[in-house]
Chain A
Amino acid sequence: MLSSKEIEAVECFVLANGITYVDFKYEVLDHILTDVEERMVIGNLNFDTVFQDVQKVWEASFASTSSFWFGVLNANPKIVMQKCTKLINASMLKALLLGLTLFVGMYIVSPFFAIKSLLINNVLEVYSVICAISAVTFLYHFFYIKIKTSKTAYSYCYKRHFVCVPFYNFTMILIENAYKSSLHVPEWMTLLWLLFFIAIYCMSFAMFSKHKTYLKYHHLKIT
């Protein structure tokens, strides 16, 4: 069994490599510690020699990586970035499908015709309402993430990706206001954009909920 000083050295290595997200931290730490313990027993070697070898094994997984979705300047360990990229890809695909389904539904399902007209005739008001709601929820989510010191891949995705939702909506309000009279945008395009924003807002909410559930659920599970 490793001493507390040796465990501390491994923990420092894990944290120094950016594995600060709770959905990875404990698992990676346990993985490395178990690996070190086994190698020490099998090879009858000391901690320092084994730990150096194990660090080399993790080099590739800890390599600083960036992604198109998060911007080239926002690098994270590869192992974390892989999960975040999968989460965002799935989220964006769902938003696209949700937006398209609502759009098609409003043109072919008669009970939705009234909603469609309501949205198109009051597009500016609808954008304003979404902008206000998303700004309030964003503030709540942002402070919730800030207060809770535990970070997850979900909170990273939320902070890097979905914080812009209120600003997107605000930009659309400005564009609608400035060009309403001069630009003749077809009504289907206005509706499609609006529905995509609604879908992306729903996905941002889902991402935050996953973060919240992860923290709550996993702390309860420790036995």
Chain B
Amino acid sequence: MKSSKLYKGSLTTIILKLLSEYDKMYGYEITQKVKAITAGELQITEGALYPSLHKLEAEGFLEVEFVKVSNRTRKYYKLTEQGAKEADDKLEALKSYMETMKAFLYPKFGLE
């Protein structure tokens, strides 16, 4: 990831947001989708992606499905009901954070 310190805390939110839009996704697909959406600005490293996906799975936010594709096994991730709720909560928190930062970076000076 570029500017990794700033993006680091948002990785789970990014994963949850993507999975809330696309029914099910696999690891490589997630990295490519993020790269495409952000025009290459944000690149999730494999070393960070899989431990995060496994953590979300262990917490019950994601469920998995193994599918035989060509001559190999592919692991798909899907949001659980609890995961969908978590995605909403995380996005709300992120929006609120962005609003606060926006207000801080571009303060509106009134007549008060």
Contact = CB atoms under 8 A, between A and B. Distances in A.
Contacts of B73: 26, 30, 222
B58 to A, nearest CB: 8
A1 interface: yes
Contacts of A33: 72
B9 to A, nearest CB: 15
- Most B-side CB within 10 Å, residue of A23, A27, A35: A27
Contacts of B54: 23, 83, 153
A82 interface: yes
Interface string A54-80: 000110110000000000000000110
A24 B70 CA distance: 19
Interface residues of B, number: 24
Given A218-B66, A223-B66, A223-B68, A30 B75 contact: yes
Interface of A: 1, 4, 7, 23-24, 26-31, 33-35, 57-58, 60-61, 78-79, 82-83, 86, 153, 210, 218, 221-223
Contacts, number: 67
Interface of B: 26-28, 45-48, 50-51, 54-55, 58, 64-75
Contact of B47 (A35, A82, A218): A82
A27 B28 CA distance: 9
13 contacts: A24-B50, A26-B75, A27-B27, A30-B69, A31-B28, A58-B46, A61-B45, A82-B48, A83-B50, A153-B54, A221-B65, A222-B68, A223-B67
